[in-house]
Structure 1
Amino acid sequence: MAKDVTILTGFLGAGKTTFLNALLGDRPQTRFALIENEFGEEGIDGGLVVRPDVDLVELSNGCLCCSLSNDLLDVLEALNDRRDSFDELIIETTGIADPASVAVPFLMLPRVLRDFHLKRVICLVDAELIEDQLRDTEEAIGQISFSDIILINKTDRVSNTYLNSLQDLLRGLNPFAHVLLGHKDNYPIRELMALERDTAGTASVATLRPVPAQPGLSPVQATTQPHSIVPFPSKHHHHAHSDLVSLSFRFAEPIDLTQIYHRLTTLLLFDGKDLYRIKGIIADPTRKERWIVQSVGRTLTLTEGADWQPGEPRITRIVFIGKRLKPAGFEKLLRHCFAKDPQKPVSRLPPTPNL
């Protein structure tokens, strides 16, 4: 059985190690393996872990997202050789790491997928500083954009009124993420660890294959319900973040999964410089299951989700997060992906690249 993996990210000073110790202390019966990644030749954070029984691996003098193809894969292989000695794996990244790059092997490499299951990406944010960090640093934006759970830390240092506005801001930036609150004396650890990535069911790396139209499966009828575009909330905050935009779309019209894969892949390759994140749940009427599409750096991945249930509305939801994004261009791109013949079998997609 694959070992569950949690990636813990957050900008410098967000409180990752303090939270990590609280998590380890709350689950004394769980045998953890821990990868500590630090930027610099001398590792410090590993010495701050309070549980001596944790299987600790320290990676210093570099950032995991920069040395991914060598160091992390070597460590994962070594951990797998002693997989009977631990139950779960936690990876604590540096404060400047890109969690999307760290997540690559868990999403795209078959040999890693066989042995490890990425269960959640947690991003800690400093309640006092995160607005300044969003304005000044691309790393903080990328960390929040890619995470499944955003934990607002140090909430005891700001007012409840400000916390409410901060939650709205972060939910607007990453509508797919769960936003939770905590501080060093009161972390919602059990609630947080009960949450999993939004894969809508069992996930696997997708090499799409032709699926014939199923008898009795009628195409999703286009409705007059308009798509929704939700701009990044800028009011009621200290900084307007005028360059940072989150665009959310919902379509009841049927989507051609092959078309959206190719168009989004092209977008990332040729015009993805300021596009931090794509994530969506796609409803293709020729397929019985929902599909989760997401960007990992400049690469697009597809994972197979749970089947659509009888009578369940098949709604496509997709979010783009980046700088200076224009809604009209993304709307036009998505409308070109509407299925023209929803009953026609789809073509095969190229396999996910081996990185």
Structure 2
Amino acid sequence: LGAGKTTLLKNILERENFQRYVVIVNEFAQIGIDKQLIVHEEETLFELSNGCLCCEIRSDLVSLLNEISEHTEDYAGVIIETSGMASPMPIIQTFSVDEAVPEGFELERVVTVVDAGYLDINLAEYPEAADQIACADRVILNKTSALSDAEKTQAVSRITSLNPQAGCIITDYSRVDVDELFSVRRESNPFPVFKPGSIQPAQNGLVIRAAHESNVSSFCLQTENKINTDIFLDWIQKLVMYHGNDLIRMKGILFFYDENSPFVFHGVRNSLDGELDEEQQLTTNNISQLVVIGRNLDRDQLTSGFEACFY
């Protein structure tokens, strides 16, 4: 979560030869922020929200693929951006063995984007993080500018220990050679070969995780009121200060009372970032939306804190 998947997708879609691709964006939360941040033809941009493709809404993906299959002559391919909470193996299996997937759809590659600064923490706390690396055909080690050369080497070594077959691209802002990235194709064997001890095996040798930690949830806040900039920044900084370890991901589109452009807000654990959308590419009808994903979220406390920021 927050590693740079949507930024990578935006970089890919800027290429003219990807304009005819269908894009499916999966959101763990009820409100879809990522879809609003992607500039793409509306009729080829779909959203599957309020759950992960690896479990709750996998059947929705199959239904959508069947819908898309009726117009395959109009499209060059499909790109799926899963939730950062998703385990890839059930999705890989869907394409490999689910007879409900329409003919002609083949999984060509799995790309995993890793936040270099939180690699060790995420691997220690979330089994999905190891799954995502182990299943990848290519791993993008992103946000590396703050790391020393030794730390970068250590991060690559950690990734290689989980998946020695996938190449690792070191970068910032998800900048990659798109042609090189899309030149990678999966082997004929649809299932990855895991290095012994790198990932927990299931009884049949495959990892099928269909549920996430029960204490991890998402909460969506939205309002038509303008937001007081100073009060919001003070509240969000205190929220991170006292609850940063439980805040996995925050993202939102906010309308401050003293700005004419919407503010795109991002938070990953203790790190906060954001920028004004001065080109006015977002279409949220001036409704501020904030999504919080974390552990043991106190919804009443979050709601009251957010409402206190109204101008």
TM bracket (short chain) = 0.5 to 0.7
Name the SS for the 2:108 alignment partner.
strand
Shift in alpha-carbon separation, 1:178–1:89, aligned structure 2, 3 A: same
1:168-247 to 2 correspondences below 5 Å: 168-184=157-173, 186-199=175-188, 245-246=197-198
Paired with 2:166 and 2:186, the residues of 1 have a C-alpha distance of: 9
Separation (CA, whole Å) in 1 of partners of 2:143 and 2:26: 23
Of residues 185, 197, 202, the one that matches 1:268 is 202
Q: Distance in 2 between matches of 1:154 and 1:57?
A: 27
How big is the shift at 1:30?
4.4
SS of aligned partner of 1:120: coil
1:135 aligns to 2:127 (yes or no) = no
SS at match of 1:194: coil
Corresponding position of 1:88: 77
Aligned position for 1:115:
104
Partner Cα distance (2:112, 2:39) in 1:
21
Paired position in structure 2 for 1:44: 33
Please tell me whether the aligned partners of residues 25 and 47 of structure 2 are also in contact (alpha carbons under 8 angstroms): yes
1:29-40 equivalence runs, <5 A: 30-40=19-29
Instruction: Check conservation: 1:32, 1:54, Cα contact below 8 A.
Output: no
Runs of 4+ aligned structure 1 residues displaced above 2 Å come to 26-30, 51-54, 67-70, 109-114
Q: AA paired with 1:246?
A: S
- Tell me which residue corresponds to 1:55: 44
CA pair 50-204 structure 1, distance change in 2 beyond 3 A: closer
Kindly tell me: are residues 95 and 29 of structure 1, through their superposed partners in 2, closer, same or farther at Cα, counting changes over 3 Å? closer
Determine if contact 1:150/1:177 at 8 Å carries over to the other structure: yes
Structure 2 Cα separation of the partners of residues 204 and 62 of structure 1: 24
State the shift of 1:40 in Å. Answer: 1.9
| Residue segments in structure 1 that go unaligned for 5+ positions in a row | 1-11, 206-229, 232-244, 248-266, 273-277, 279-294, 299-355
Task: Measure the CA separation in 2 of the matches of 1:41 and 1:172.
Answer: 35
Name the aligned partner's letter for residue 151 of structure 2.
Answer: Y
Q: How much has 1:68 moved relative to structure 2?
A: 4.3
For residues 285-338 of structure 1, the C-alpha deviation after alignment (integer angstroms, 9 at most, x for no partner) is xxxxxxxxxx3528xxxxxxxxxxxxxxxxxxxxxxxxxxxxxxxxxxxxxxxx
Partner of 1:347: none
TM-score (norm 1): 0.53
Q: Is the 8 A contact 1:68 1:101 kept in 2?
A: no
2-structure distance, mates of 1:185, 1:58: 22
Matched residue SS, 2:14:
helix
Measured after TM superposition, the shift of residue 66 of structure 1 is 1.6
Structure 2: distance between partners of 1:56 and 1:30: 11
Whether the 8 Å CA contact 2:138–2:166 is kept in 1: the answer is yes
Contact 1:24 1:51 in 2 (8 A): yes
Counterpart of 1:32, as a letter, is Y
For residues 81 and 105 of structure 1, the distance between their equivalents in structure 2, rounded to whole angstroms, comes to: 19
TM-aligned CA distance change 1:63 to 1:26, over 3 Å = same
Which one-letter code corresponds to 1:169 in the other structure? R
User: Structure 1 residues 31-40 or 183-192, which shifts more?
Assistant: 183-192
| Mean CA deviation greater in 107-116 or 135-144 | 107-116
Assess if the C-alpha contact under 8 Å between 1:21 and 1:49 holds in 2.
yes
2:62 to 73, 76, 88: 73
In structure 1, give the amino acid aligned to 2:202. Answer: L
Which residue of the partner structure matches residue 297 of structure 1?
208
- Percent identity, aligned pairs only, is 34
In the aligned structure 2, how far is the partner of 1:129 from the partner of 1:197?
Answer: 27
State the partner residue of 1:151: 140
**Aligned residue identity for 2:162:** L
Looking at structure 1, the residues matched to 127 and 139 of structure 2 have their Cα atoms a distance apart, in angstroms, of 17
Question: What is the TM-score normalised by the length of structure 2?
Answer: 0.60
Write the distance in 1 (CA, Å) between the matches of 2:177 and 2:58. Answer: 34
Contact (CA 8 Å) 2:21, 2:44: kept in 1 or not? yes
Residue of structure 1 equivalent to 2:12 = 23
* Counterpart Cα distance in 2 of 1:85 and 1:71: 21
Calculate the aligned-residue CA RMSD, in Å.
Answer: 2.7
Q: Is the 8 A contact 1:98 1:139 kept in 2?
A: yes
Q: Report how far residue 27 of structure 1 moved.
A: 4.2
**Paired positions, count:** 206
Structure 1 residues 190 and 85 mapped into 2: Cα distance closer, same or farther (>3 Å)? same
* Unaligned stretches of 5+ residues in structure 2: 210-311
